[in-house]
Amino acid sequence: PDCNDGRVCCAPRMAIRFVEIKASENPEALNSEWVILENDGKTPFNTRGCGMTVGRRGSAKKSLLGIIDPGFVLAPGARMRMLTGNPGTQAHGTAPEDGTANYFLFLPKVYVAGPGVVLTLVLRGLPVSKAEYDPSQPGGVAVVAKKT
């Protein structure tokens, strides 16, 4: 979803979007929880310095999960799976290997706590992409009604 509703505010709309949100069924298996970002734009996007916030639908309160550093460059048309855990910790489980590149966030616990969790990718405090977790939807991303 476009967090700017298609309007040009401070900068043109970013072409980065959440295409999948997967919650972990086991809170110890951190590498079974992830989000997949996709670059729908025509230029590369560097995630260095971006942060990710987590909140609940209808609440203004958000928590910053951390800053993505060193980050990665998302080429036009490319996807990146951002896993919660650490690849070197056996208890976190193994990461999927299906052609989508993996990036590990090294977080201490799961953050997708159920339906209604809202994730926002931010750069210098401004939203880049926003998505709500809905397990009943394909990819776990809620469909947002267009404002008219």
CB 65 within 8 A of CB 51: yes
For the record, the structure tokens of 36 come out as 């997949």
Q: Using only the alpha carbons of the chain, give its radius of gyration.
A: 15
Q: What is the mean pLDDT of the chain?
A: 88
Percent helix, percent strand, percent coil in the chain, to nearest 5: 5, 35, 55
Side chain identity, residue 16? I
The pLDDT of residue 15: 87
Distance of CA 12 to CAs 5, 127, 146, Å?
Answer: 11, 12, 18
Across 40-142, where does the E strand assignment appear?
45-46, 50-56, 62-67, 73-74, 79-83, 101-104, 117-123, 126-132
11-68 confidence digits (pLDDT tens): 455 689 999 999 999 999 999 999 999 999 999 999 999 999 999 998 889 999 999 9
Q: Render pLDDT for 120-147 as a digit per residue (tens, 0 to 9).
A: 999 988 999 999 999 999 899 997 644 4
